[in-house]
Amino acid sequence: MRPPLTPLHRRIACQSRLFSSLPPGIAGRLLDGAHVRKLRRGQALFHHGDTAQAIHIVTEGWVKLYRIAPNGTEAVVGVMTRGQSFGEPIALRRAAYPVSAEATTVAEVLAVPAQGFLDLLHAHPETAISVLSATFLHLQGLVEQIEQLKARSGAQRVAEFLLELCPEGATTATVTLPYDKALIAGRLGMKPESLSRAFARLRDFGVSVTQTSAAIASVTALQALAHNDGSGALSRAI
């Protein structure tokens, strides 16, 4: 028998892009049918080509979404963490997953049965706006990711990545790298050696990187690097 969701599980799920716009009563009913999956580091959640049966929400740890190219290269599509949902449109269509999902740390994931959500949509068509909102946010994230890969230097991509880890409003920060550097490189569309060079360049902007953390002397300086438009002395430095 699967253990019931805890109040913490429910709070985290209701912060996800899928559940945040649902009325509390409806969200609660959906979560009544959900279950928790605990994953070891490196354990697969699903594989490319599997038929989607559930919508997933990460409640602890990190999960990567990836594809293997014909030449064997792994392409990281996304890295999900606490409070993030994924697979909504695929699960609701009962389609095959276009990516694989694997825990990159010890992780915990809520699986919300897709059939329960489909039943809800039939009974309450107005809740479809939640699915549309979640899909829009996902697409917006992909567009931003493509823009980052196409228009930004390696150092700028790494700067933006580190800024996302900084506490809001911080002027200086020491942040923990949430997963290993090989995965960071894959997430940013870089080779590991390119990531190392980018980390080295960031020393000029007050960033000191160890195996597991990054000390940022000036968040403002890092923001200036990340958002530089490619003109002036700053662009020549990167």
Tell me what pLDDT residue 24 has.
Answer: 72
Q: Which of 59, 53, 58 is nearest to 113 (CA)?
A: 53
Is the same domain home to 73 and 90?
A: yes
Residue 103 resides in a domain: yes
Q: Are residues 226 and 126 in the same domain?
A: no
The predicted structure's pLDDT at residue 214: 94
pLDDT over 80 (residue 206):
yes
2 within a domain of the structure (yes/no): no
Confidence of residue 88 (pLDDT cuts 50, 70, 90): confident
Same domain, 161 and 128: no
**Domain end point (choices 115, 149, 183):** 149
Evaluate whether residue 12 is within a structural domain: yes
Distance CA 128, CA 134 (A): 10
Q: CA geometry: angle at 56 spanning 50 and 57, to 5°?
A: 155
pLDDT band at 99 (very low <50, low <70, confident <90, very high): very high
Residue 2 pLDDT > 90, yes or no? no
Residue 1 covered by a domain: no
Domain of 208 in residue numbering reads as: 152-237
Per-residue pLDDT band at 232 (split at 50, 70, 90): very low
Which pLDDT does position 149 carry in this prediction? 62
| 62 and 174 fall within a common domain | no
Q: Looking at the structure, tell me whether residues 208 and 96 fall in a common domain.
A: no
Q: How many residues does the chain have?
A: 238
* pLDDT computed for residue 203 by the predictor: 93
Provide, rounded to the nearest whole percent, the portion of the chain with pLDDT above 90. 45
pLDDT at 142: 64
**Are residue 166 and residue 119 in the same domain, yes or no?**
no
| Token pair listed for 174 | 């020491």
Both 227 and 127 in one domain: the answer is no
State the total domains in the chain: 2
For residues 182 and 208, state if they share a domain.
yes
C-alpha distances in Å from residue 190, one per residue of 107, 116, 187: 25, 39, 8
